[in-house]
Amino acid sequence: MKMTVCCLLVFSLSVQADTAKKFKGFEQLVGHCWQATFPDGLKVDTHCFSDVYSGAFIKDQHVVCGEGQPYLGETWYVFGHNNNQVSYRYYNSMGGVSDGSVEYKDNQLLFPDETYEKNGQQIVYRSNWALSEDQYQSQMWQMDAKVESGWKKIWEMTFKKIELNKQNVAQYNEKHQLTCYQD
């Protein structure tokens, strides 16, 4: 029995170390929820990160609550052993899907050009998350030929680490899906 417990502990620590190595920058996000208010103050975005299948994937569930219908999304990150790069696929509640990659550099997660498709139209975004211990700063730009730099800043928000059970904006439902809080 002691040998089995010991082996499981060693395996668990090995998986955690491998996950941290593959998903550099995500280790502080995984296992926690993060929340930010949009610049207009009308909506709140909540993200909860978890590792899936013993660190083979990282899943980010998020929900935007506030005026109007809730907006839901889920991102699955995977480490490509062939190219040593983290890539992702994002799905949202409006039927949108996007694919992209992530690079860790100088304590930031950099999301280079991401193509988002909806109703046959393509929109290109780019973003970065500046990481610190209990928060991360998210900035997002949209490609725009009318702007001199070619990119228009859409938002900048500060996500702070939260405990879901100590706030009343987002919660998990009975299917363990992140949803807007309802009394």
- pLDDT tens profile 86-133: 999 999 999 988 889 999 999 999 999 888 777 888 889 999 999 998
pTM higher than 0.95, yes or no? no
Q: What is the number of domains present in the chain?
A: 1
Q: How far is CA 153 from CA 25, 30, 41, 63, 139, in A?
A: 23, 27, 17, 21, 8
The residue count for the chain: 183
Q: How confident is the model at residue 76 (pLDDT cuts 50, 70, 90)?
A: very high
Domain ranges, residue 124: 2-180
The domain that holds 76 is classified in CATH as: 2.40.128.20
